[in-house]
Amino acid sequence: MTHPRVAVGLGLGTSPPVWRPRTLLRLARVMHLHSAWTVDHFLGFFPQQIWNRDLTWTARPGSSPHEYFDYQVLLGHLASRAGNVRLGVGVTEALRRHPVLIAQTFLSLSHLTKRPPILGIGAGERENLEPYGISFEQPVGHLEEALQIIRLCFRSRGPFDFPGKHYRLDGAVMDIRPGRGGVPEIWIGAHGPKMLRLVGTYGDGWYPSVPMTPDDYGARLATIRTSAEAAGRDPDAITPSAQLIVVLGRSEEHARSLLDSRPLRYLALMAPASLWRTHGAQHPFGDAFRGFIDLVPQHLTADELDVAMASVPRSVLEGAMLWGTPEHVLGGIRELADAGMRHAVLSPASALVSRRDALFSIRAVLGLMRRLQSGY
Least confident of 2-11, 17-26, 229-238, 301-310: 2-11
User: Does the pLDDT value for residue 228 go beyond 70?
Assistant: yes
Buried b / exposed e over 264-299, threshold 16 CB at 10 Å, is bbbbbbbbbbbbbeeeebebbbeeebbbbbbbebee
Structure confidence by residue, pLDDT tens digits, 49-84: 999 889 888 877 788 999 999 999 999 999 999 999
Structure confidence by residue, pLDDT tens digits, 138-189: 999 999 999 999 999 999 888 999 999 999 999 999 999 999 999 999 999 9
DSSP H or E stretch at residue 75: helix 71-78
User: Does the pLDDT value for residue 249 go beyond 90?
Assistant: yes
Cβ count within 10 A of residue 7: 18
**pTM of the full predicted structure?**
0.97
Task: Count how many Cα atoms sit within 13 Å of the Cα of residue 225 in the half-sphere of its side chain.
Answer: 12
Strand partners, 345: 9, 243
pLDDT, residue 62, reads 82
pLDDT, residue 1, reads 61
pLDDT, residue 367, reads 95
What HEC string does 241-305 produce? EEEEEEEECCCHHHHHHHHCCHHHHHHHHCCCHHHHHHCCCCCCCCCCCCHHHCCCHHHCCHHHH
Three-state secondary-structure class, residue 357? helix
Please, which pLDDT band fits residue 248 given cuts at 50, 70 and 90?
A: very high
Burial of 335 (0-12, 13-18, 19+ CB in 10 A): middle
Strand partners, 10: 36, 346
Distance between CA atoms of 189 and 93, rounded to whole angstroms? 10
Structure confidence by residue, pLDDT tens digits, 318-346: 999 999 999 999 999 999 999 999 999 99
User: Does the pLDDT value for residue 376 go beyond 80?
Assistant: no
pLDDT, residue 74, reads 98
Structure confidence by residue, pLDDT tens digits, 127-146: 999 999 999 999 999 999 99
Question: What's the mean per-residue pLDDT of the chain?
Answer: 95
Distance between CA atoms of 210 and 204, rounded to whole angstroms? 19
pLDDT, residue 165, reads 97
- Report yes or no: 292 and 320 within 8 Å, Cβ to Cβ: no
User: Does the pLDDT value for residue 2 go beyond 80?
Assistant: no
DSSP H or E stretch at residue 240: strand 239-248
Rounded mean pLDDT of 29-43?
96
User: Does the pLDDT value for residue 375 go beyond 90?
Assistant: no
Closest to 176 in 3D by CA, of 109, 114, 120, 117: 109
**pLDDT over 90, % of the chain:** 93
Structure confidence by residue, pLDDT tens digits, 252-295: 999 999 999 999 999 999 999 999 999 999 999 999 999 999 99
